[in-house]
Structure 1
């Protein structure tokens, strides 16, 4: 508002290029970086991601609608809507891409070891939001918003499926206390399978088309970013397959919980079926009819699938799911033994890299420490000054109170003395002034 005189996006889009020509990008860089701080918090980007997994403590429909499909992508939308501003500052675009890429792989590395079903999906959401930011930083508004749309469908379905499982399991959320539920909950199992295949990027599900565009956009601007995105895709397929296999395959971990499990009613199954259809066909729709014709930055361009990128990422996703099968279903390797072999890496991932503990320590040391200092200043300095002034007033009043004896002749004497003193000062200053005037003439 102070720099451009308006907050209207269309007016800003016209004003920014002229401002760059006239003033350069120095101050615009500061504006863009500060503007991006909002999306970092709103869309759960590192290091302001910690609120989103904790928000999953709420009801599952809220998690599905608010924390997976709508509210958390507001930051992504803001960056995309203001792309005309960010695109003028390449260093900020690079910063956005790397924040998004790091967030994607960081959250995926945490999701691999989590046990709570909704917490796994929460960190998956953080990771996918990182994907969207990476695409924006790479300059591909189309792929970012395409993934925003497809992700809304399959992630909402995954959360609702998780809610159905928890409802059937008497609110149990630990996937390792489940098992074998595909027989008890076939509709939920089918919906969860579609969601897992979609987020893993297996064709022809929705995530395949949007993820392929993000990988292609990353490959076009930076090989390290592309490698990071591919590794994240591998990890995503692994931990989502782990969630699916441990929850629905194998033998029940608890016979009592298994016997209690049941398929949810139609009022809970119907949204799953609707979202399942969208999770299958929305990606194909966007690819066939050209999502970039409606959502784009710059000229519309309908690009075909990069089969080298799409094929390699699909192979990696299949391998990741096969690895999860070998560990958690076929049990060719003992999962606990693998965790023990990973040692500190597993502990770091399971404890979310101790980011929550670091924040708690910072609050205790920094915030509480500053509060104690300010409390001391308030009590002993501010209050001390006020109380000291009050003491001076009390002391002076103690000295002067004897003069207030109620005798009129005493008051008249004080008044007369005051008048004499004032007259003496007046005569003295008049003499000084006359002397100065006489010396001047």
Structure 2
């Protein structure tokens, strides 16, 4: 900074004034010689030089020293120009070297106080984090979680800290959660796509993490049992660079969970087994759920979102499994997502209704309904042809202009 070191200020000023001197020198030479095309230029070979077009060569003063001939011009130097060039370059090189010396000295002094600087930086960082926790808690109506070591996790009116703050989002519907090692160790959550299953299981994981950070949480009330790790298996993505398909990535992440989770862990699973055939997927998902519940060294608290309705039968055979679903309001062919997690399994997937909401053409949706009915009736018809391809007569639409006798 200007004023820190007098010698550096002088060298910088010399370099700055040098540019002004060159501009003044060029203007003075044009006036003295009458050569309007005279230019003072610079390159790495000659340094600063005077360039004059060939039409003005007759007017070049005898004091100019020729350095190079070009097609349309010639280049010259003068003793005065070379002398000032040395001053300018000397000032620039010296200022760079002096800056390095000053920087090294500042760095040496900083190292002498390194422990104090790092201790203060840590304190400032902690103040920054805690102040942000307080600001978010007040702004977003967070509550103080009660921490315990009893293995339970109970949340009343929990919310997703990010989704609820998204601009133009619909009103966020809070949900309760209960997890323990006895009756609610593994929760199977069913319901249609877009209904809120993934948001719900993610918000539980985030609330647990926020509580362990020492932050208030987005909930009306929360009792959080200490967890050693939070394991997640969510999303779907190929790892093409390593030659791994979506299913392979999914299985490797699941394997990591099953090999490392403990009874004190929290696990969030979203759609295990969907990357392969239906029967294979159900088999893997069921086996994973059984392993989490029956293995005494495991029994981690788990939220398991799935479209495989067959998994809801686990609650009939395992006392620590419970079924929950996302509440959906159905009216005719349309559905409304109520975003509320309630006890019990979903009665169907509503996949075709979601497809209609997404904008699939009516003809595609109607044909999908036909095929669904075929599948529900059985695999083959009386003629041995697959029923999935069977066409069904369209119901006649009522003529609203015709009188009805009954």
Q: TM-score, normalised by structure 1?
A: 0.20
Task: Look at both structures and tell me which one has the larger radius of gyration over its CA atoms.
Answer: 2
Q: Which has the higher contact order (CA 8 A, sep 6+)?
A: 1
More helix by share: 1
More strand by share: 2
Q: TM-score, normalised by structure 2?
A: 0.21
